[in-house]
Structure 1
């Protein structure tokens, strides 16, 4: 697709999305034709703006493009996943170990618990879901930070220093990438001082010509080096322009690579931050709907690869390659030309963009909608053109082309086609942490998915991952250590999607999973996946509410101790037979009890802001402390009425629906 047309399509779709935090819920079949006309008119000038910037495209910023270097001689170009993690990853964690040990000792001591005999390996997994997932995931992360006074007062601040890994998918990858690139800055400070959330991600209020001019020049420069480019490249540059430090934006130098973060971020040089991992899924040729057993690829500071590769019905042990050189043409496990290796393909913005290629998902969702709206038909045509041109993906040079030293079902592919891993319905990036090679003890799973009608999570991501693990073991003999979880109906019926839950409590061969769902403690934090701008006060309110999803707003006195028990349990090699009395009491309360419900439940789960989750109230765990001016009393008419001004005066039902695109995007992520 011509670059200007591709960018125009991206912007046109973005312009169709209502802006602001309280887009009303609506039915596509009931759209106002006048609204369609107005939206089309708003977008009529977009190709002209972009073409204008293209017409004087001479020189311009081209720092995004990969560049050639002589190939290094002493390097392992492909290594088998059988060997576990890379030596570089092991060395980084060894350097981080003193920080982790100190934090674990401190947090256990605060709860009156003994320190485990070995260092626990803890991972954060941040779900997808656009800006909603990024804001909420960062807020939940702040719930673990000692620098946060609220988190420290709640008894949970300090655990982040004990975390080894931080993994993100789609919007969660934006949170991970931005957090690491900004040196682990307190997320509320990020919102106020770095993140450009109040300017539309694709259609900024000011400087449109310069914005698109720099996009076009950078993408053209990449294409000029012979690399396939797609709408993902524009998406990626837009993300970087809003989320990365200012020295790496379009009007400066958008050239920070994932691998180069180690040399540019002091907190990484000192191993003061978790290892960041961003994941994507592979889409096979001709495939539209991704099955749950699609290949999941991960990108770290050192490597790009997968623990299990191959077609959906032919998986084998995977392999990895140095991420610094992933744009290099490879043949038989070595560079095709030792004088021409590429660096710069692993742009952090492109990695984040790869993990969030939303447009294929948008097409799949929209194709199922029946409506007489000419506007919706217009958007359908745009998305269909993008998909037919294979322009809705990110193509990576296949480093395993013609490689035969290991079983390699990818040998005949020139490119590996990457898309948003959330399209596999595994919207929480659990997989990097349940492979045996990392030996993770505890996974803190932040679920900010929009699974229900009103964009709240229902646990379906964990259920899909659990069934994927069973299939991999049964069909391919590949072990993925995922603890058992209930079905989606069980999650909702048992209220497990309203509060923290521990999974795998009595398992000896899987990690412990601490599930943290999005809940409206003090703000309706279920904004649409496709909302592309937030005013700063609203973003802060949403983030603060998400902090409280992790801290439980300081209203549950036993939560810090029980959290400490779950964080450290595997490092003690505990089971129900030898666990301390205090921790066993915690597990009796917070662990899933193994029951499930197979009766279908309604999809209209609709929590009310400021009302204590039912399970906490029923079990007498919350002391109903009033904080931040929000009363945690009951869902009375007066409480509902008082909540309305916080969301712009719209009705609560309409606001929490947060429907965009005329209501069609509420099922995305």
Structure 2
């Protein structure tokens, strides 16, 4: 109730009020010439990137990729595997038009996914000597796009915000400039009770509510995602370290906006891959008997998949194919513009809102998110507001091609991008205007014993088939039994080797430990010791660099670095009319699924 909020706010510190103010959107006149919605076109009529994204990628191709690919080539050469001449010609080219376009999609799965994705990036990072020895280091620096959802969004956003540090610095907060304190792994992200002390937890909960009070009092609906947002702020945004996690004298990332990425130095220099956070649209569902708590349901695969980047929010899905400027997220007309709604923690929290997933009754939603919903209900008076979704003022009213189901909704309901069974954020990297040549798909889903069995990858293929004019997906097995029987989740696998009209997908799944190693990467804890996190990253590194072994304990494919590079150049090789040869011919025969 409102009087409860006043009491909480009244006992809070001045810093808490500042956090509340920083988290509250504000309204003002729109700038001259402001346009709310950009029509993104279609593959048939001419699909377009935003001018800012197009400029980002063009500049990266001209100023970053030539050197990055030459450096990556040097890494592959260090493995002493003889390469075909065309590998040197493509990766060593000075012509930006010959540069392959590489994308990385890193999946959801909370901290397990964030750490596994970080381990794969570590294996591709040219600043890691071990990666250079394996022949994989440097590909990260030559990557054009990176997308993440849920736990993957924690990785993608924090990496971008922290100015693209090496993984060890990113995860543990070691020697990172600008106030970035690492991931604060020892405190839970998805719980209201991150401490083991009742008094500390009570103060933390009161502070979390106080932080979002200003938004509520300004007339905006708030939900459990706003509470989750403040948790995300303490884990992944600047200003928070392990030592000040429960200290309310700092705002813990309140007021940090997603568009602030535009001014991060390695974003400005285009050294980073272009970061994208992915979330799902949630259709309107009936409410509970009292009109306060929502009943959850599965997200249909045809629902809109939204993406958030440093410049825009929207979707290339054909039913919408429109974007709005992220700086003015919250705006619904072209006269009164909202700023401050695009809180970075709220967007990352939206991508992490798994609470709405697979719930079919009030009882089940309360079992998974009851404490969050109860806290919001007891703190705020909001009849009829759905509490288990992120609520965004709808800039796309009247937009779309007639099949956009939210065309008349005042608010968009947005949830974890894995709620539709597609926890690998592949769809944005299939957009034809982005022309991805090689897509590294990182699958960290917990299907059997907290290991992936290919189910979400299959869901991505099935969903892409719903919109064949928009997305091209290579052939893959359409049942998990094949993935398991053929060990496609326990070693890297290439898909699309003989379908040049699609990206070539390098599929790296968390399907089981390397031969002779104990299981580590199926851990699903929400709190982590540094020792466990280090062991997790080490095992992920081995999984991402082992290739196909001969079954001997500790054995690795000595050609894996070259094989990965062969996949990277394969589409450009095809465009130049060159036949595969040498190690690339044998590598693709070994790693391609047919």
Q: Give the TM-score category using the shorter length.
A: 0.7 to 0.9
Separation in structure 2 between the aligned mates of residue 580 and residue 489 of structure 1, nearest angstrom: 33
The question of 1:220 aligning with 2:219 is answered: no
Match of 1:92 among 48, 56, 68: 56
Pick from 307, 322, 326 the counterpart of residue 323 of structure 1. 326
Note if contact 2:146-2:274 (Cα within 8 Å) is conserved in structure 1: yes
Which one of 13, 28, 48 corresponds to residue 69 of structure 1?
28
Q: Which residue of 2 aligns with 1:199?
A: 187
Question: What does 1:50-199 align with in structure 2 at a 5 Å threshold?
Answer: 53=8, 56-57=11-12, 60=17, 61-62=19-20, 63-82=22-41, 83-97=47-61, 98-109=63-74, 110-111=76-77, 112=83, 113-116=87-90, 118-193=98-173, 194-199=182-187
1:410 Cα deviation after fit:
3.5
Offset at 1:548?
1.8
Q: Indicate how the Cα distance of structure 1 residues 536 and 410 shifts in structure 2: closer, same or farther if over 3 A, else same.
A: same
CA distance in 1, matches of 2:580, 2:3: 60
Matched length: 521
Distance in 2, matches of 1:461 and 1:405, equals 28
Q: Which moved more, 1:202-211 or 1:73-82?
A: 202-211
Measure how far apart 1:270 and its partner are.
Answer: 1.2
Q: 1:289 to 1:189 in 2, by over 3 A?
A: same
Q: Which residue of 1 aligns with 2:232?
A: 239
**2:343 corresponds to:** 347
Task: Please state if 1:456 is matched with 2:451.
Answer: yes
Select the residue among 341, 352, 355 that pairs with 1:356.
352
Q: Is this contact kept in 1: 2:221–2:385, CA < 8 A?
A: no
1:543 aligns with 2:533: no
TM-score normalised per structure 2: 0.81
Q: 1:382 to 1:72 in 2, by over 3 A?
A: same
Give me the whole-angstrom Cα distance separating, in 2, the residues matched to 1:420 and 1:122.
25
Q: CA deviation at 1:224?
A: 2.0
> Cα deviations across residues 162-195 of structure 1 (Å, max 9, x unaligned)?
1011100111001111111111111122232222
Give the structure 2 partner of residue 303 of structure 1.
Answer: 312
Alpha carbons of structure 1 residues 405 and 197: separation in structure 2 relative to 1, 3 Å: closer
One of 473, 482, 487 as aligned partner of 1:482: 473
CA contact (8 A) 1:170 1:421 kept: yes
Cα distance in 2 between the residues matched to 1:566 and 1:458: 23
Task: Please give the alpha-carbon distance, in whole angstroms, between the structure 1 residues aligned to 2:272 and 2:10.
Answer: 44
Matched residue, 2:261: 261
| Cα deviation code 1:585-638 (max 9, x no counterpart) | 110000002xxxxxxxxxxxxxxxxxxxxxxxxxxxxxxxxxxxxxxxxxxxxx
User: In 1, Cα distance between the equivalents of 2:167 and 2:23?
Assistant: 27
Question: What is the aligned partner in structure 1 of residue 300 from structure 2?
Answer: 291
Q: CA deviation at 1:526?
A: 3.8
Distance across 2 between alignment mates of 1:557 and 1:469: 35
Residue 213 of structure 1 deviates from its aligned partner by 3.9
Conserved in 1, the CA contact under 8 Å of 2:37 and 2:324?
yes
The offset of 1:255, in angstroms, is 1.6
* Aligned-pair CA distance for 1:204: 3.1
Structure 2 CA distance for partners of 1:213 and 1:192, relative to 1, 3 Å: same
SS in 1 for 2:256: coil
Shift in Å at residue 258 of structure 1? Answer: 1.0
Give, in whole Å, the separation in 1 of the partners of 2:339 and 2:186: 33
Q: Are the equivalent residues in 2 in contact too, given 1:282–1:419 (CA < 8 A)?
A: yes
Partner Cα distance (1:378, 1:180) in 2: 34
Q: In structure 1, what is the Cα distance between the partners aligned to 2:7 and 2:522?
A: 34
Bigger mean CA offset, 318-327 vs 71-80: 71-80
Distance 1:419 1:51, change over 3 A: same
Distance 1:382 1:199 in 2: 18
1:127, 1:429 within 8 Å by CA — same for their partners in 2? yes
Change (3 A) 1:556 1:344: same
C-alpha distance in 2, partners of 1:405/1:508? 30
Change in 2 beyond 3 A, CA 1:171/1:465 = same
Q: How far, CA to CA, are the matches of 1:69 and 1:545 in structure 2?
A: 51
CA 1:378–1:125: 2 relative to 1, 3 Å: closer
1:515 is paired with a residue whose SS is strand
Structure 2: distance between partners of 1:572 and 1:319: 33
2:205 & 2:23 partners in 1: Cα distance? 14
Residues 513-532 of structure 1 aligned to structure 2 (within 5 Å): 513-518=505-510, 519-521=512-514, 522=517, 524-527=519-522, 529=524, 531-532=525-526
Check 1:379–1:481 CA distance in 2 against 1; reply closer, same or farther (3 A cut): closer
> For residues 322 and 385 of structure 2, what CA distance do their matches in structure 1 show?
29
Query: Cα distance, 1:443 vs. partner?
Result: 0.6
Q: Are the equivalent residues in 2 in contact too, given 1:259–1:346 (CA < 8 A)? A: yes
Paired residue for 2:437?
Answer: 441
Going from structure 1 to structure 2, the CA distance change for 1:424 and 1:56 (only over 3 Å counts) comes to: same
8 Å contact from structure 2 (residues 108, 424) kept in 1? yes
Query: What is aligned with 2:490?
Result: 498
Distance (whole Å) between structure 2 residues aligned to residue 412 and residue 317 of structure 1? 13
**Is contact 2:490-2:513 (8 Å) kept?**
no
Are the equivalent residues in 1 in contact too, given 2:322–2:400 (CA < 8 A)? no
Q: Equivalents in 1 of 2:12, 2:257: separation in Å?
A: 25
Structure-2 separation of matches of 1:68 and 1:384:
28
User: 1:554/1:392 Cα in 2 relative to 1: closer, same or farther (>3 Å)?
Assistant: farther
Separation of aligned partners in 2, 1:189 and 1:554: 29
Q: TM-score, structure 1 length as denominator?
A: 0.72
Asked if the contact 1:191/1:540 (under 8 Å) is kept, the reply is: no
CA distance in 2, matches of 1:275, 1:322: 16
| Conserved 8 A contact 2:185-2:527 | yes
Say whether the 8 Å CA contact 1:52–1:209 is kept in structure 2: no
What are the Cα deviations for residues 480-501 of structure 1, in whole angstroms up to 9, with x where unaligned?
1111111222111111011000
Structure 1 vs Structure 2 CA RMSD: 3.0
Structure 2, unpaired ranges of 5+: 42-46, 78-82, 174-181, 286-295, 378-383, 547-553
Q: CA deviation at 1:272?
A: 1.1
**CA offset at residue 222 of structure 1?**
1.2
Would you say the 8 A contact 1:105–1:115 is kept in 2?
no
Residue 419 (str. 1) matches residue 393 (str. 2) = no
List, as ranges, runs of 4+ consecutive aligned residues in structure 1 with deviation greater than 6 Å: 1-4, 247-250, 365-368, 376-381, 383-388, 404-407
